[in-house]
């Protein structure tokens, strides 16, 4: 309401002239009676954001220089904490993690950003916990959506589900590679310990 009144005064030549000269506003004037449907008025000035607008932004943002800068900034700000990096970067979910990691690793190798222990030495358990937490949040959001009866965008829902299946497979493959790489070392370590105990 305050913004509406300010706009009403500033957009009316007579009201503005009075305000500029005297520093007062005619509270009884037609412009300030509050009869205008401000929501409808602002909608004339600013278009409604649609699903397509969001999708178009996501397409232009991902793999752009802007996203690259945002990822590096988040990495430095949070000192390599992937939980917080994934929460702060726009248009990403847990299935984007392998891609985000590669970007950060490349920046570390080139010396653009420092190497933080929280990123380089992050445990597999923390990665799995992050994945489970986000999956749980997604299930809860879907449940809430059903409870509230939200819908009308089945095409978007189908698109998201399709993308999520592909991304989930990528993430599972990524975790399988980690397990193959580090899981074998852990098993070898266990055998050595057992051998020492036998001696």
What is the C-alpha to C-alpha distance for residues 79 and 73, in angstroms, rounded to an integer? 10
- Structural domain boundaries in the chain: 1-45, 52-147
- In the prediction, which pLDDT does 100 show? 95
**What pLDDT score was predicted for residue 196?**
47
Q: What pLDDT is stored for residue 194 in this prediction?
A: 46
Residue 8, pLDDT score? 73
Q: What pLDDT was estimated at residue 117?
A: 93
pLDDT of residue 110: 96
pLDDT at res. 17: 79
Query: 104 and 75 in contact (C-beta within 8 Å)?
Result: yes
What's the pLDDT at 158? 56
Over the stretch 53-89, which tens digit does the pLDDT of each residue have? 888 999 999 999 999 999 999 999 999 999 999 999 9
Determine if the pTM surpasses 0.85: no
Residues of the chain with pLDDT under 70: 1, 25-38, 147-164, 166, 183-199
pLDDT of residue 47: 81
Residues 194, 197, 199, CA angle at the centre, nearest 5°?
115
Neighbours of 97 (CB within 10 A): 22
């Amino acid at each position: 309401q305050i913004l509406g009144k300010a706009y009403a005064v500033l957009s009316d030549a007579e009201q503005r002239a009075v305000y500029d000269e005297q520093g007062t506003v005619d509270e009884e004037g037609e412009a300030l009676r509050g009869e205008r449907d401000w929501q409808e008025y602002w909608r004339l000035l600013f278009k409604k954001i649609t699903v397509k607008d969001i999708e178009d932004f996501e397409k232009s943002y991902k793999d752009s220089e802007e996203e690259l800068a945002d990822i590096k900034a988040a990495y430095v700000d949070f000192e390599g904490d992937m939980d917080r990096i994934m929460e702060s970067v726009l248009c990403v979910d847990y299935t984007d993690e392998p891609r985000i990691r590669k970007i950060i690793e490349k920046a570390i190798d080139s010396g653009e950003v420092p190497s933080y222990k929280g990123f380089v030495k992050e445990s597999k358990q923390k990665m799995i916990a992050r994945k489970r937490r986000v999956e749980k949040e997604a299930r809860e959001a879907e449940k809430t959506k059903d409870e509230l009866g939200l819908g009308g965008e089945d095409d978007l829902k189908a698109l998201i589900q399709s993308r999520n299946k592909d991304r989930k497979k990528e993430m599972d493959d990524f975790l399988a590679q980690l397990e193959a790489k580090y899981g074998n070392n852990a098993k070898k370590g266990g055998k050595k310990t057992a051998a020492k105990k036998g001696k």
